[in-house]
Amino acid sequence: MHDLIVFIQSNSALVATNPLAFATSAVLFGGGGFAVGRYFLAERIANLESRIARRDEEITDLKAKQKAPEREVPV
């Protein structure tokens, strides 16, 4: 972490003289990193979404069972 701070301090003059180039690079690398991360985590996200949907269905079924009156068996 200390090396990163030293690197930024040593290049702060370059960033100050070319803010548009720095901002463009930051947006491109940040967007690229987000896209790559999203691509690699898409399967995990889909899996979690399906688990949530399944749990919602289970909760709905359990609530329906609680609301339905239980019929007594005639003897």
Domain residue limits, the chain? 10-66
Is the model's pTM score more than 0.75?
no
- What is the rounded average pLDDT of the residues 38-46? 92
CA–CA gap between residue 65 and residue 5 (Å, rounded): 60
- What is the rounded average pLDDT of the residues 30-56? 95
Q: pLDDT of 65-75, one tens digit each?
A: 888 766 666 66
Cα–Cα distance list, 70 to 36, 66, 67 (Å): 53, 9, 9
Number of continuous H segments (helices) and E segments (strands) in the chain: 3, 0
CA–CA gap between residue 22 and residue 30 (Å, rounded): 12
Q: pLDDT of 3-31, one tens digit each?
A: 988 988 898 898 889 999 989 999 999 99
